[in-house]
Amino acid sequence: MQEYQLYIDGQFSAAASGKTAESINPATEAPWARVARAGREDTQRAIKAARKAFDEGPWPRMSQADRAKILNQIADGLQARAQEIAVVETQDSGGTIRKTNGDLMLANAQLRYFAEMAEQLPLLTEIQVPQFPAQSKNFIQREPFGVCGQIIPWNFPLMMAVWKLGPALATGNTIVLKPASDTPCSAFELAAVIAQSDLPKGVVNIIHGSGAECGEELCTNPMIDKVAFTGSTAVGRRIMQLASDTVKKVTLELGGKSANIILDDADLDMAVDGSLFGCFFHQGQACESGTRLLVSEAMHDKVVERLVERTKLINCGDPLDMASAQGPLISARQRETVEGYIKLGLEEGAKVAVGGKRPAHLSKGYYVEPTIFTGVKNSMKVAQEEIFGPVLVVIRYKNIDDAIRIANDSIYGLGGAVWSRDADKAMAVAKQVRTGTMWINEYHMLSVAAPFGGYKQSGIGREFGLDGILEYMQIKHIHVDQVGNRPAKFWYGALFGA
């Protein structure tokens, strides 16, 4: 069995308690790796190392070019081991090898973007201000935020680690990263790559443990300056509360129930396949998935017929097999949750058009067939709650205004799409949906150079792009006096004037 240890202060080590946990391969339901399981004490040790690296170490003080060089070194190391790490990721997460290979390629490109930003981001910028009441030159100095606690989910383990580490490192922060309990292994592979680079010790620390112990410590420890979290809305709220005692900066990327709108003039072949990709990619375990498909009354039957026909062609199977398009869900408990929602949908009167069961040809693994519900009202649980599984609900709309109203009738606002041959019409719809990302004739295509994040209860702050990088920087205003002469000062008369 593969073994992994905690990565703290540049060293791999066992947990203080000696505890370990077995990581389960969701395709075989068997343990495949043993990972050191951190508690509060290990988390505190990691936080201290990150604090010391920030307060006393070279990393925040290093030239931008040197930081960029080290980030590129890490990207090189990741690239050299990409295929091997993709296999680790597939065994740990159940993501198909096609998906994890893609994740490794993307993670690499993302790290290189962050390296470029590390080098090119202007840290000192002059700004123009009115010269009343004081003649002055004014500058914005951007500085690293400090020690960041980062908590990531199990759906895109390696890529989420890069999304969090990349911008934090590019801007000179130090980090304690907690991967999800179900999928720690690729983060420790990344730790091995980092250990081979010139990154100073203590800058990146990676621990495996529960939210209740390690997560709570990251959110409450006074030595942490910022918490970045990707996960559920309920935990996001809890994190904000925990972080409020020490007034930490918090960025959250939370749930979604994104609307995918097919307009009547869409290229139907593309819209149908794109909508299936939008919902079923990685078994629906992506926050921005297009899980509510909105179709007009007129097009409904035609679209559903094609959706069903195309869904039957999606191949569920061993995620290590290049021929598999769908792997298992992450865990037995996630499958139980998803199956619970399918049951609820049926009880609420929705109809399963395709799927709804475990695939008959697979005797092992936490698989659920890609499932489509029709006859769904937007008020139903299956339309309001994020299922986080391969379940698409089809909702009818009367006209475009009705489609926009339904799209916005959600506590979430993370992703979404509109399919149309009319660019202006699609743009008009995209502008009216209250959500962080809208794709036109596309889905899931996030760019490292474009901001990603949520409206409403889908989150706070952005990742990626300049906006995402600035979330990791403090802003300092520096005012340089240009009056130069005491009696001419604006305040002089007020204090000492005649």
| Active-site residue set | 253, 287
Could you tell me if 42 and 207 are in contact, meaning their C-beta atoms sit under 8 angstroms apart? yes
Q: Which of 448, 478, 460 is nearest to 143 (CA)?
A: 478
**Angle formed at CA 470 by CA 457 and CA 109, multiple of 5 degrees:** 95
Could you tell me if 303 and 268 are in contact, meaning their C-beta atoms sit under 8 angstroms apart? yes
Strand duo 459-460 + 249-253: pairing: antiparallel
Strand duo 204-206 + 174-178: pairing: parallel
| Residue whose CB is less far from another protein, 79 or 93 | 93
CB of 54 to another protein, least distance (A): 25
The β-bridge partners of 22 are 34
CA dihedral of 261, 289, 230, 3, whole degrees rounded to 10:
-170
* Residue 10 burial (10 A CB sphere; 0-12, 13-18, 19+): middle
| Residue whose CB is less far from another protein, 14 or 483 | 14
| Residue whose CB is less far from another protein, 19 or 421 | 19
Report d(CA 276, CA 246) in Å as an integer: 44
| Residue whose CB is less far from another protein, 269 or 401 | 401
Q: Which of 191, 27, 15 is nearest to 95 (CA)?
A: 27
CA dihedral of 369, 310, 405, 350, whole degrees rounded to 10:
-50
CB of 238 to another protein, least distance (A): 5
Residues near another protein (CB under 8 A) are: 21, 24, 153-155, 180-182, 210-213, 215-216, 231-235, 238-239, 241-242, 254-257, 285, 287, 331, 333-334, 336-337, 340, 344, 377-381, 383-388, 408-412, 434, 456-457
CB of 142 to another protein, least distance (A): 32
> Which residues lie below 8 Å from residue 313, measured CB to CB, with a gap of 6+?
none
CB of 267 to another protein, least distance (A): 31
| Residue whose CB is less far from another protein, 196 or 210 | 210
| Residue whose CB is less far from another protein, 67 or 248 | 248
CB of 208 to another protein, least distance (A): 10
CB of 486 to another protein, least distance (A): 51
Q: Which of 340, 319, 341, 315 is nearest to 328 (CA)?
A: 319
CB of 454 to another protein, least distance (A): 11
| Residue whose CB is less far from another protein, 358 or 381 | 381
> Which residues lie below 8 Å from residue 468, measured CB to CB, with a gap of 6+?
167, 451, 452, 453, 461, 462
Q: Which of 417, 345, 404, 342 is nearest to 377 (CA)?
A: 345
